[in-house]
Structures are given as structure tokens and as C-alpha cells.
Amino acid sequence: MNRWLGQNISLFLASLLLAFFFWAVAIETEDPTQQGPFALSIPVEILNLDDDMIAYGINGARVRVELRAPKSIWNNLTLEDIHAYIDLANVNTGTLSVPVHVEVKASPVQVLKIIPAAASLTVEEIAEKEVTVTVRVKGTAVFGYKAEEPMVIPQTVRVRGPASWVAQVTQAQVMVDVQGQQSDVRGDYQPELLDQNEHSVPYVEAVPKVVTVNVPISQLGYVRDLAVTVAWEGQPAAGYRIANLVVNPQIVKVFGRVEVVKAVPGYLQTQPVSLEALTQSMTTTVALQMPEGISLISPPRPYVTVSLTIEAIQTGLTLAVTPTIRGLASEMTATLSTESVVLILNGPLAIMEHLQSTDVRVVLDLTKLMPGDYTIIPTVYVPKGVTIQNVIPEAVLVRIERVVAPVLPYR
């Protein structure tokens, strides 16, 4: 038996190796091995760092890896399957270069390359200290208001981080903007940790992360809205009137001592605007009459714009006008159905007061007309500025006849 095994063991091993070779070839043919870089970068995790130590300078570090794996594994690899880390167990403080390790949950996968292969970081002891919270107010409140001393809760925060950076922190500063405010500014703010030169200190954090700040806004005096009224003197020219008056702004905001502002009757007057003999519209800038002890908040200057619309006073007039015949041939005669045409006119009072029937013409144009009966629409001529409201009748019946020469008696 032993002799048989000795004679056949080599044959058995050769058969086994040959079978394994054919199995590997079959597997490789069915599921070929792929090699190359993984498409995504892998975040690097820090492990085994002592609780009283802190590492910085590596935040957000990522690596890329080159892998070898069967195609079926490649097709299903995800970012969650690959873990990159650095092991900081038993490291000393200082700036270190630590190798990066990569583990892959899926199998079989071989890690061929890690880029970069090592990570640089600094390890220090953790330190803490308390610093005072300072509030800096920027901007200015609305005119007539001022920002009072701010209040902050809590008044101190604990700074935590690497010992060398914590030592540089001298203040926790909050910036509050009160520009254009007229009521208290209150909110939660994240303080910025600064050194003695007011430069931001990195790698440290404040505990708590936010503080509550209230900046009281107080009123310096009394603010009130007042209407604007326009004072004028004189009257428009005869026959004209004020059709519209617009002042801009109509309301102004004033400021002053309480008793002074309350004594104002509810409006401010402009300096007088002259209307004397005006015949056309106008727009002008007029100063306000400002009582002593009163200041304007809005508008910033004590002036308003006044727009006056001046228009002629309109009136009506009825005139009976005898028509004038034009273009009638000398051998013809015309007989009209009416002796006069009634005109209803409208226009400015200054013109209409002096308008006479002789200032208006009603013309019947009979040019080239032969004997017969005609309906003629009259043409009416009126002075400039006068409008025709109606013509009665709208058309005149005209009979045209040829003039018959008289027969002289025979002698």
C-alpha cells in the first residue's frame, strides 16, 4: 500500500494542480478580473485618538484608491463598501505624517494603491478657557433714535480646541447691525473667536455656540407725521381758475422735543405761492415754514414740490347768425328755408364775454349748382378757442332759380 502511494502521489498532485488550473481558467473566462481606480474619492476617518487629544489640519481629507477585483464585484462596489482611516493609537503630539489604511468589505478585492498613501496632521492636547463676549454695534438707528448699551446672555463662553490655538483667543465677538432700526434689535448670534489683533482663530469652537443679544433702541425726542398745506397769494387772471393742486410729499415726518412737536397744529404750511395773473399751469419747489425747535426726518430738506393746474373758465353762448351765400352764379337766385342759423357755442369766459354774431360766420357754398332744390350743410367759422356744440338746423333747404329778365314794353 505504501509502495503504491509512493508511486502515485506525484501523479495525484499533478492531477489536482491541473484541475485547479482549468477551474481558474473557467472562472476567469466567466467573471474576468478588472483593475483600475475607483471612481469616487474616499473620506479618511481618524481612529483611536486619546480623549484628551485633538487632531487638526486633516479636516475633509479624502484619498483615491486603485483596486483589483472580479467584474461582478466591481459592478456592485459603492462608497459604503470602502473604509479609509488613519490609526492614531499611541502617537505623540506634533505635526505627523501617518499612513492611510483602506479596507474593503466586499471580497475578493485587492487594494493596489492609495493616493496619497499618508496624511499630514497635527496632534495636540485639548485645552479650554473662558473668554468674555463682546458686542460690536454697527450702523445707525433711524434719525431721532439711538442704540443703547447691548445686553448679552451668557456674558462668557468656553473656548475649546488645540492648546496652541486656544491660547491665542482673547475675545468672542458678536457683530449686530442696527442700521435704520427704530425698535430693539434682538437675536441669537454665533460669536467669532478672535486673537489680540482681531484675527479669526481657527480650529477652536465656542461652548455654547450661540449667544442671545439685545440692543435697545431708544427715542431721542418725539416723532410725528404732519400734513403739508400750500399757502398762496393773489388770484389767476380773469377767466381762469385753479383746476387741480398737488403737493409732493403730502406728509412729512418731523422730530423735536415732545412739547414743541405736540404744539404744532397737525400740518406745516409752505411759503406763499403767487397765483397773480396766472394763465397756465406751473410746477415749482417751495420751502416749508418750519417752526422753531422742529427738524425734518423725511424728506431730508425742508422743501416740497407744488404742481398747479390752471385752466380757463368755460361758458356757453347761443347766437343766431344769418347765413352767407358763396359761389352762387350771377344769373341765379337762391331762396333759403330759414333766415338764420342758431349756433350753440362753448369756450373760455374771457372770449365768450365779448363774442358778437359778427365774429361768427355761417357759410352756404352753392358753387356750380344749377336750378333746383338742395339740402346744404353750412360751414361755421368761429374764433380760436371756441368750440361748436350744436348747429340748428344742421342743414338748410335751398331753392335755386334762374333770374328771368324783365320784358320791356314795345314802343
Contact 158, 207 (CB under 8 A): yes
SS3 16: helix
Distance CA 172, CA 195 (A): 9
Between 320 and 258, the higher pLDDT residue: 320
Contact 215/178 with Cβ under 8 angstroms? Answer: yes
Q: Which three cell numbers stand for residue 169?
A: 483667543
The angle at the Cα of 181, spanning 177 to 184, to the nearest 5 degrees, equals 85
What pLDDT, on the 0 to 100 scale, is given for residue 64? Answer: 94
If you write DSSP's letter for every residue of 342-385 in order, what string do you get? EEEEEEEHHHHTT--GGG-EEEEE-TTPPSEEEEEPPEEE--TT
Asked whether the predicted pLDDT for residue 159 surpasses 90, the reply is yes
Cell of 289: 415754514
pLDDT of the residue at 326 = 94
From CA 232, how far away is CA 282, in angstroms rounded? 13
Alpha-carbon gap, residue 289 to 271, rounded angstroms: 6
Mean pLDDT of the chain: 88
| 263 Cβ neighbours under 8 A, 6+ residues apart | 291
CA distance 296 to 130: 48
Q: What is the pLDDT of residue 23?
A: 45
Q: Range with the lowest mean pLDDT among 94-98, 216-220, 298-302?
A: 216-220
Any idea which residue has 488550473 for its cell?
A: 21
Neighbours of 91 (CB within 10 A): 17
**CB proximity list for 211: less than 8 A, separation 6 or greater:** 133, 152, 153, 154, 157, 172, 174, 188, 189, 191
Residue 16 pLDDT class (50, 70, 90 cuts): low
- pLDDT at residue 389 greater than cutoff 80: yes
Task: Give percent of the chain above pLDDT 70.
Answer: 91
